[in-house]
Amino acid sequence: MNGYFVTGTDTGVGKTVLSALLCQALNAHYFKPFQTGQDSDTDTVVRLAGLAPSRVTPPAVHLDAPLAPSQAAEKQAQTLDIAFIALPHTDRPLIVEGAGGALVPIAPGQDMAELMIRFGLPVIVAARSGLGTLNHTLLTLEALRLRGLDVAGVALIGEPNPENRRDIERLGKIPVIIELPVLDPLTPETLRASQASLTLPPKPEAADVAGWDRANVWHPFTQARTAPAPLQAVRGRGSRLFTADGLEIVDLVSSWWVNAHGHAHPDVARAIARQASVLEQALFADFTHEPAARLAHELCALLPGGLERVFFSDNGSTAVEVAVKMAHQYWRNQGRPERNRFAAFEGGYHGDTVGAMSVGLTSGFYKGFEPLTFGVDFLPYPATWHGDESVEEKENRALAVLTNYFTVHAGTVAGVVLEPLVQGASGMRMARPGFVAAVAELTRRAGGLVIFDEVMTGFGRTGTMFACEQAGVAPDIICLAKGLTCGFLPMSVTVATDAIYQAFLGEGFDRALAHGHSFTANPLGCAAALAGLTLFQEESTLSRIAALERVHKARLTALADHPRLHMPRWRGSIGAVNVTGESQGYEAQIGRRLQLYFRERGFYARPMGDVFYILPPYCLTQDELHRAYDVLEDGLRELA
């Protein structure tokens, strides 16, 4: 789609006349999504530009009061939502005219800039030419750019003012595409005569993203020879990603489980922008700063009691790496070097650095790297699902093995690493809270440290802020990442008890934890994380997750007897089920076929072989989740 979105510094600045001029000049199609008041801007544009009915889309919403859409809708007891405003289908350039100014409210959490982002058109700002335009225009430009919008130019309407034009172009770094005087009379002919002074910016040269990608990019977890070409994402909003070829895709996997509150959430984006203009980075070995100190304080207040010391790093693998190093050095600093054994659970995945690979060796992702890893003892994991009648027997067998293990190695175990409730990358394998609690109790009886990898399960994924809350367990060390910064920036934390921290204090550096990286406690990541924690309260996020869990439960329970599905399971925002097919495991073809089927229907899913799962941003609606399950049922029929 090409064309422009016309907004203004205020109401009554001449957006409608400018829109008519652009429709004339570009032989364009016109659309004003929101019309407020009795006068019809659409009729004015039709008259001035001489538009045939086929070149006009009527307003999607017409409200009687000449007010901001949100206020006018309130007077008529209507509820607005830009999600239901669609771009017209047209082969012509499209001119979309906004209502009022760039930030005029439409609905709670939605303003005109949100509609611009959804449509993805470059923006032209209509502004008065006279006194006051510098402040209003520059503020509008800044607000639009902070939201990632492409502003193509400014139109100054009124008596020509060379000084204002010069300063807007210089200070705003933007071309003035026209100085349009007040036309008297305002007719199609006088408007057409003004086209001579219109100078639209040239279209930017198209970036060869696909070519650059083919030539220079190495994608993760991908066999480049057989994988389809990647989609080119150009923007995201809420639960949706938008691609360069015009697709609008519902993200069912939170972009590898990192997105919490929705793509490009404006509150998080603004928090990062504010922080970027104040402090972007400081060497954290010698400095502290408010975003990091505040985030550490707020995390410790949310976490189970005793977790009081926050160590910052950059991703989930590193968070686990730090936890293992902490546990190992803790015992060495205590004068107990014999406590050097680590145990983890079969199937668990903990990341791709060497230490994380070591404790996740049985996940199946590290063939060929085993010589690089250190020895870890692997314990049975009693994965369960809806209708699993053998779960207690499996748990008892697993706990018997653990009891024997700790009897044999009680004095040498440094720590036990566990993904509480859900093993993510091994196929959303779930365990009951009681098993997690029993593991922690056995570990502590043997004197070992309890290490929870909540890289994926933290920040609401399982229905509580942290999965360990459901087991009633406060670990000695917890690893958090993914949802920490709401999907905006790479950051992780490893949080330990104060008792562990105290063991690293001393006069010599040999007792200190010698770990860190250049961007430790990056202020931008901390700002994003703080904004995300605030959203949990402001948007009642845990209630949203509970609503998603109810849909998972209803749909997966209904599918329990499906001949091609087995082991349905859910926890919080996560729903998963195994699909029978020609093969099983990570490379099962059914997963690739389902992924393509979902993509063709406007959903992005990424099955793990024969495991189909949904783990969406928390802003996904219940209706959207139901539609995703409808697509799954249709796909199973059609792909049979």
pLDDT digits (tens, 9 = 90+) for 368-398: 999 999 999 999 999 999 999 999 999 999 9
Residue 177: how many other CB atoms lie within 10 Å: 21
152 and 15 within one domain: yes
What would the mean pLDDT of 257-263 be, rounded to a whole number? 98
- Residue 188 sits in a domain whose CATH number is 3.40.50.300
- The span from the CA of 161 to the CA of 154, in Å, is 14
Instruction: Please tell me whether residues 631 and 569 are part of one structural domain.
Output: yes
Number of domains in the chain: 3
Q: What pLDDT does residue 1 have? A: 66
Interatomic CA distance for residues 248 and 630, integer angstroms: 18
| Parent domain of 50 | 3-197
239 assigned to some structural domain: yes
Q: Among 536, 555, 585, give the residue marking a domain's end.
A: 536
Contact 114, 7 (CB under 8 A): no
Average pLDDT of the chain is 96
For helices 523-538 and 290-302, what crossing angle results, to 10°?
A: 40
Among the candidates 536, 565, 593, a domain finishes at: 536
Assess whether 527 and 571 both reside in one domain: no
12 and 118 assigned to the same domain: yes
Residues 527 and 548 in one domain: no
Res 136 pLDDT > 70: yes
Q: Tell me, what CATH number does 329's domain have? A: 3.40.640.10
Q: CB of 5 within 8 A of CB of 18?
A: no
Write the DSSP assignment of 25-84 as a string of letters.
HHT-EEE-SEEESSS-HHHHHHHHHT--GGGEE--SEEESSSS-HHHHHHHTT----GGG
**Average pLDDT, integer, range 527-549:** 98
> 180 and 72: one domain?
yes
Residue range 270-314, pLDDT digits in tens = 999 999 999 999 999 999 999 999 999 999 999 998 999 999 999
User: What is the structure's pLDDT at 587?
Assistant: 75
Chosen domain end from 482, 516, 536: 536
Mean pLDDT of 481-505: 98
Q: Which two tokens stand for residue 176?
A: 């003035």
Three-state secondary-structure class, residue 143 = helix
360/505 same-domain check: yes
SS3 string of 241-284? EEECCCCEEEECCHHHHCCCCCECCHHHHHHHHHHHCCCCCCCC
